Each structure stands twice: as structure tokens, then as C-alpha cells.
Amino acid sequence: MEPLVTGQLVVGKPDRPATLADVATASGVATSTASRALSNPTRVNVATRERIERAARELNYQPNSHARALTSGKTRTIAVLVSDVTNPFYFDIIRGTQQQLKAAGYTQLLVDTEESDELEDGMLHKLRGSFDGAILAASRLTDRRLSTLAAEMPLVAINRQTKGVASVFIDTPGGIEQALGHLVSLGHRDIAYVSGPETSWPNEGRWRALVRAGEHYGVAVRRVGPFSPKKNAGAAAADVVLNSGVTACIAFNDLLAIGMLMRLRERGVSVPDDLSIVGCDDIFGADFCNPPLTTLTAPIEQAGRVAVSMLLARLDSQTASAARQTATLPTHLTIRSSTGPAPAERPQ
């Protein structure tokens, strides 16, 4: 009895947060019982459990996640690595992961790898133990390194297909043919691909898909770049594309495309009258830029959600075996105003 009363006597602010031991003494049981009552409810008598739960509530008990992690090895935290927090594309990913993680009662550790494979690798190791698994949005790691890491810890990669590592793939390449078809139907015959960074996995995929589609439609495609996937790299890209004499281009991503739009406006080039532009991703802003961008809409946020689901599924031993290794998310072409009929043959 006495301990229970003690617990209630401490009416002054309990400055130090209540521990499991406090809950235990307050309800007159051992800490082991209290622990079980709260986390493994079936292992303890319903009456005692209720008593303990009440005490916990009254003391405003919050389990110490570090102590818990130390013994159980589970942190209920997921690391999300993005290569550049600056890029709106990742915001959508983060939104998706955040949503899904919160719903599952997990916590999100956000890490910016600054497009550096070393930093990515380093962080993953330094933080190992701080998270149960990681989501790699746009990994810069080599296939080899990625496989090794995937063997060491639960990973899900986004937009990166490597043997042995779970991934969710946004099928932009699959949409490229549709995009090219759109341009061809508008009369374009000479089309450029505005390349993103060469270390970017999706960049290569998009280019290859475009080459294939070009063969299919029998039109010429060429590649310019590489450019950094940022808005301000769009100026250089615009100039190069303009100089190349093509009538239309597909940009690695919307950021680049929007940058081009701004530069072209500055130079007095009309989009789409003089040049048609197709972006990729459909990020925030693609709908209200000037002109609104025709783009390959990607379910970015959904990709984040799916990645979390896959990761969580494989963390749970119950569902681990059934967990999917790969998910492919389709894209679709969203036609807005940055594409139009090819300009009439210009007189020599």
C-alpha cells in the first residue's frame, strides 16, 4: 500500500519524467510485470494490467525510447535519405513517407545526402542502430555497394532497380513513349533530351526509353547536357536546346524544364510556338508556371507511401516473407500548354 500512497503524495511537479519503475511501485508490482502489462498484455492478469495502466496514465508515463531500443533492438524509426532537400520532388516523397510512417506510429529521420555517395554511405553507417530501416530516395550508391548495404539493413530504394534490393519504381520511362507520341502527333520530328546528372539512375532510364521510342516512331532524338537538375541550370539548358535547332524537347525533370521556361521567356522565345517542352514528374509549380508545363505525371507522394509500406512489411516478421520486392508505379502524360504544333519549316 505504502508505495501506492507515496506515488500520490508526490503532488509537486515530478520534474523527472516517470519511469517504468515508478509505475511499478505505484501499482505495487515489479517492473517486469509493469513492462509486460504495457507491451505484452496477454502475459498478465487483466486486473493487474488495468491497475498498471491506470497508474501509468496517472503518472503520465512515457516509455523511454532509447532504453527500449537498447534491449529490443527496435527503434520504431525510419531514416529517409534524399539527395537534396532543396528539390521539390523530394518534398513530395517526404510527404508520402511522413504520412504513412505517422499512421504506423513510426518516426521519421530526415537525412540530406547532398548528392554524395560517400555521405550517403557514411550516414547510413553512422546512424545504423538509430533506425530500423531506411528509404533511399535517389541513391547515388553503386549497385555493388547498394547490394551490400541492403544485406546489412532493411532498405527500400525509390527509383532504383538493383538486384537484391527492394524498390519502388516510378515508371517514367514507360511514359516516355507516350510523351514522344504526343510530340510526334504535333508534327515534331527532331527532338532533344535535356539530360540530368549522369550519376542519376532514372536519368539513364529516361534517355534509353526515349531512344527506343524514337526508333519506334522513326524520329531523330538527341541528347544535350548533362545539366544539374535545378531551376537555374535551365538557362544553360534552354540556350543549348535552342541552338541545337530541335523543335521540341523532353527534360529530365520539371525543375529543369521550368528553368528553361523562364530563360526562354527572357529571350523572347515563345513556348510552345517556337519550342515545345515536356517535363517529368509533375512537381509543385508545374501547373502554374508560364506556360503551364506538359509533363509526365508521377505519383511521387504515393511512391513514398508505398516505400514505407514495403519497408514496414519486411520489418514485421509476420509479413516479412510475403513482402513484395518491387513495386512499379505507372505515370501518365499530363498535357498542359508547353507543347504545341511544330513550327512551320523555317525558310532557309
Partner DNA sequence: CAATTTTTGGCAAACGGTTGCAGCAACCTT
Partner DNA sequence: AAGGTTGCTGCAACCGTTTGCCAAAAATTG
Binding site for DNA (CB under 7 A): 16, 19-21, 28-33, 35-36, 38-40, 43-49, 61-64, 67-68, 70-72
Phi, psi dihedrals of residue 40, rounded to the nearest 5°: -135, 60
94, 97, 102, 104: CA torsion to nearest 10: -170
Of residues 15 and 345, the one with the C-beta less far from DNA = 15
Beta bridge partners of 170: 329
Least separation in angstroms between residue 81's CB and a second copy is 12
Of residues 14 and 245, the one with the C-beta less far from a second copy = 14
48 binds, among a second copy, DNA, none (CB under 5 to 8 A by kind): DNA
| Residue 27: Cβ within 10 Å count | 24
Q: Is the peptide bond before 347 cis (omega within 30 degrees of 0)?
A: no
88 binds, among a second copy, DNA, none (CB under 5 to 8 A by kind): a second copy
Of residues 201 and 338, the one with the C-beta less far from a second copy = 338
Residue type, 338: S
43 binds, among DNA, a second copy, none (CB under 5 to 8 A by kind): DNA
Give contact residues for a second copy (rule: CB under 8 A): 17, 60, 62, 64-67, 69-70, 75, 85-86, 88, 91, 94-95, 98-99, 102, 107-112, 125-130, 231, 258, 261-262, 284-285, 287-291
Of residues 73 and 218, the one with the C-beta less far from DNA = 73
Least separation in angstroms between residue 325's CB and a second copy is 23
| Whether 147 contacts 162, CB under 8 Å | yes
| Whether 201 contacts 160, CB under 8 Å | yes
98 binds, among a second copy, DNA, none (CB under 5 to 8 A by kind): a second copy
First-to-last C-alpha distance (Å) of the chain = 101
- What are the strands of the beta sheet with 190-194, ordered from one edge? 220-224, 190-194, 248-251, 276-281, 294-297, 332-334
